[in-house]
Amino acid sequence: MNFNILIVDDERVMIETLKIVVKKFFKQEYPFLNLNISVAENGKEALEIEQKSAQDIILTDISMPIMDGFEFIKNVRMFDKAVPILVLSGLDDNDNIDKIMQSGATNYTSKPLNKKLFLAQIKVFVDFYLHRQNKYNRKAINLFSKNIYKRKTEFLIEKEEDLLEFWEFIIEIITSEHKAETILHFIYDTEILMIAKGISNNIVLEEDLENFYLTLLEIDKLDDKIVLDILKKGKIKETEYKTNNFFLSLIIPKTKEEVKQTIDAKKTKNIQKKIDKKEKEEVIHDIRYTIHEDISPEEFLEELDPTYEDKIEDFFEDLSIVGTHIFNLKNASFDEAKALIDNIIYNLENFNIIVVNMGLFNVISRSFGHLITFLNNMDDEILKNTQKRVLLSEMLQGLANDLESWITALFIERTADDIHYFDASFSENCFVVESTFMQTEEDAAEEDAAEEDDGLEFF
């Protein structure tokens, strides 16, 4: 899976340092992601990159020549509302921070950067990205399947170089083991013909549990007879393709091993993070206990008392208030932070009562119980320390985003294959919040020693 990060800064040393740190972090935490890092030295260059290739995270400075960060962010938000934008700047007074957030930034951190806080912010963005990727079925384009497992990948083919780029991508996914040689040859021959005729078109890759789907758009711009001749020449079976007046879809079965891996990934939610062995055993035990069979949202909601659905909807509306409390936590005084935490706990406790009474969600209710206990007994030092308070706010926002996605997929859109799809990831995310702020002095000393050993002076 590709993951694109854009770094924007007029200081070359800063760019190179960020590249090193981000690459090392992704190699450790997300080795399954294919990381692509683009760089720009001003907002104008960065805007051109973002317009040509959508980014998954943008890291940007504010004070830059030609186009500063404020103007860059405002321009990005004109066509991309969703991409997380993290501002890294030495402008740390309240007026400038307010201006940064009002311009459309997702978050802000001051220079010189705190390494732990910076990577925690990146982690929140990446985890939410993966959460969305794995939890939601996008509307399918292909003519075979209404549901797809992963976000569709689309390739614009205008010239042979585009076709080669598509080819390099596809042969890493669809290998000779899939016995798809005839289909891939058909796609290649068809695209070469379309390029020769000056026809710009798109190829869309999708997948579900059992198959890959490759769909050629704009196929209507070729004569039907030509397409049928290429299909016949390529010995494509009638069961391997479907076509309408506008596009043509081809189906490529997955290998048995891939089907198993995909099913495992959907059930475990591809847990990649490091957690304590004892806690991990408890999580796995709860997952096994809870997920004894797949239960669809429709089946679950048919038997659920309608009043609980109303309560869930009420909490969903309250999530925006919870989000505001979490956001305000960053710049709050100690007394204000205590009051905000009390409000957050109150909302979480009320929601946990609903979860417990609905039944079947023992993993989530157990995780909520641990998190609420931690927040109730949290050391005052965490709220007094600005860096720790901001980090806590970031992590709680990630959990709030998780809850919003869970409620949407289960109770509103009802797109989840199984009501327990969320259990493992949420349980671990709660544990990560606790473990981050329950670090012992011994752990901290070991971490400091490790950072000194890597020989990298961070900013």
Specify the pLDDT at position 262: 52
As a whole number of angstroms, the distance between CA 5 and CA 441 comes to 34
Q: How far apart, in Å, are the Cα atoms of 235 and each of 158, 216, 245?
A: 26, 18, 21
Is-contact 34 66, C-beta < 8 A? Answer: no
CB 55 within 8 A of CB 83: yes
- pLDDT at position 249, please? 94
Beta strands 241-243 and 211-216 are unpaired
Overall fold of domain 153-258: Heat Shock Protein 90 (3.30.565)
β pairing state of 201-207 and 211-216:
antiparallel
**Three-class DSSP labels, 225-237:** HHHHHHHHHCCCC
pLDDT of residue 305: 74
Domain regions of the chain by residue span: 2-137, 153-258, 272-447
DSSP codes joined into one string, 387-452? HHHHHHHHHHHHHHHHHHHHHIIIIIS---SSTTTTHHHHHHHHHHHHHHHS--HHHHHHHHHHHH
For the chain, 459 residues long, the average pLDDT of each consecutive 10-residue run is 90 90 90 90 92 88 91 85 85 78 83 82 80 55 80 82 84 73 89 92 84 89 88 89 90 74 48 42 38 64 76 79 85 88 86 79 77 86 88 87 83 78 72 68 45 43
Which of the four CATH numbers 3.10.310.10, 3.40.50.300, 3.40.50.1820, 3.40.50.2300 does domain 2-137 have? 3.40.50.2300
> Which residues 6+ apart lie within 8 Å of 2 measured at CB?
33, 34, 36
* pLDDT at residue 96, as a whole number: 79
| 99: its two tokens | 């201006």
Q: Which residues share a beta bridge with 39?
A: 7
| pTM across the whole model | 0.37
In this predicted structure, what is the pLDDT of residue 95?
Answer: 79
The pLDDT value recorded for residue 36 is 93
112: preceding bond cis by omega (within 30 degrees) = yes
The maximal CA–CA distance of the chain, rounded, in angstroms, is: 76
DSSP string of 255-316? PHHHHHHHHHHHHHT---S---HHHHHHHHHHHHHH-SS---HHHHHHHS-HHHHHHHHHHH
- Give pLDDT, residue 284: 38
Would you state the pLDDT for residue 269?
42
